[in-house]
Amino acid sequence: MSKTVKYRLSKLMGKFTYNLFKILPTGGKSYPGYVFLKYAGINHLSDLADDQLQNGSILITGTNGKTTTTTMIIDLLSNDTNISKSVDNNTVYALTTSLLSKKSNIGVFEYGIRDIKHGQPDKVQKYLKPNGVIYTNISREHTQVLGVKNSFNDYIKAKTLLSQEMKDGLAVVNADDPNTCYIGQNKENDLHVIYYGICTEHVKDIFVPETIQCPSCGKTLKYTHNYVNQRGIYFCDCGFSRNKPDVCLTNFKIDENNMNLSVEGNVYNYTVKKDVSFNVSFKLPLFGVYNVYNVLASITAYSCFTPLPENIEVNVENYFNSLDFTILPPGRFEIFEIPGKIIGIGQGDNGDALKVNSTFMKDIISENNFEFIYCTPDEHEEEIFEDHLNTLKQLNPSKITVVPGRVSVKAAENYFNQIKLLNTNVEFSAIDYNFEKRITGIMDLIEKSEYKYIIVTGCGEEQVVWNQIKNRLKEKY
């Protein structure tokens, strides 16, 4: 059987499986892609991409903000061209399913790599041949995958491999994040690298900066300004430093109901093969500063790949001026009221996210008298706990209630014992690993709390725990 016939039959089987599985609640997200790759082989991923995508694809990766950024890029590009899309995706099978779903001008795919073995970033890059890779940020998270612990250096390497062998196309990187900026600097001789970042002192981290290692030499980076966590203006004695952004947040002001932003950019548009400039101003709901980076990444990617660059300013302003909280994935951090209480609740499963959630909530707490219901990482996730602990130490809540966030109750109790050394008013609620028990248990803690302000964040399942708690509280009150 020739490779051509084998490929065509595999494609037919994959498409048949896709159409069959569309009736399922998950839409058969991964299995059709698995069927195609099982019989065709991953080397035929390039043939499938060539058949289904007229102008190639864009991959979005990073630690935080992937899903929101991908959704924004999809929404913006859909105004100008026909796209294939995939969000909340971290396997080559789900990506392949998206390719099987339809023919289009360009593919926009989230690709949340956790490790090299399961994410196969080098193979995805080799056979998919993306025209663009968009990096949000890279911070400590996902150190354990399917019971196997991976180092942070391995995690960075997995993200790097997605663009490492690219010799054509475009990389969009966060200039304010040292790890992604370093990836960009190492690709400047191979392709166009576009940097985005904050260029106003109106954004400043309220926490004491952490010690961040230089990605080039391993020494401690020096910062002249911290925007959010490790993102800021930095340099190292070895010569490594932050690149000047091509797309800049030039104005940032918060009023009672909105965040008001101005963004200026001068980028290379890969689709039309020329430089384009833009200057936009718009308002956003009170999403929190971290989502400003998602906005910058999406505007940068859109301006680099739209076939109609003359539409950039109008489309960007119209889109973001009409944006609301539905853009955020289910389970993400949100602030709302129930009788007598203001609650900030949602997933914060790495140090970066938990700190941002806390910052968002602290902006509205009128007094330093609040409870923190903290959902712990699992065993072998000590790095994540260390980052969480640093934030808890600086926040110094009036009360901390520790709840198991993942599987191990014993690990949660060990983390609780460490937190007790920092705060005298700490309690442990040993809720078993059962989704319904976790949901009702956390709701009970919220409702019985004597505090007006409550932060509820940490680790846990995004859809079946965090989103359920939020929805049930809203329905009840």
Q: Hey, what domains does the chain have and what are their CATH numbers? A: 41-327 (3.40.1190.10), 334-476 (3.90.190.20)
Cα 264 from Cα 247, distance rounded (Å): 6
Residues forming a β-bridge with 278: 265
Q: pLDDT-derived band of residue 25, with 50, 70 and 90 as boundaries?
A: low
Higher pLDDT, 280 or 5: 280
Cα 123 from Cα 239, distance rounded (Å): 32
Q: What is the pLDDT of residue 77?
A: 98
Distances (CA, A) of 1 to 9, 11, 280, 477: 11, 15, 56, 64
Nearest alpha-carbon partner for 158 in 183, 122, 184: 122
Across the chain, what does the average pLDDT equal?
92
**94: part of which helix (H) or strand (E)?**
helix 92-101
Q: What is the pLDDT of residue 360?
A: 86
DSSP calls for 141-191: ---EETTEE--HHHHHHHHHHHHHT--SSEEEEETTSHHHHHHHHTTTTTS
pLDDT tens for residues 91-103? 899 999 999 999 9
Q: What is the pLDDT of residue 146?
A: 52
pLDDT tens for residues 340-375? 999 999 999 888 889 989 988 887 887 789 999 999
Lowest mean pLDDT among 24-33, 160-169, 376-385: 24-33
**252: part of which helix (H) or strand (E)?**
strand 247-254
Cα 71 from Cα 368, distance rounded (Å): 36
Residues forming a β-bridge with 174: 196
Q: What are phi and psi of 255, to 5 degrees?
A: -110, -165
Reduced to 3 states (helix: H, G, I; strand: E, B; else coil), residue 131 is coil
Reduced to 3 states (helix: H, G, I; strand: E, B; else coil), residue 309 is helix
pLDDT tens for residues 307-352? 999 999 999 999 999 998 888 888 888 888 999 999 999 999 888 8
Residue 143 has pLDDT above 60, yes or no: no
Residue 211 DSSP code: P
Cα 154 from Cα 142, distance rounded (Å): 11
Cα 294 from Cα 228, distance rounded (Å): 13
Q: pLDDT-derived band of residue 412, with 50, 70 and 90 as boundaries?
A: very high
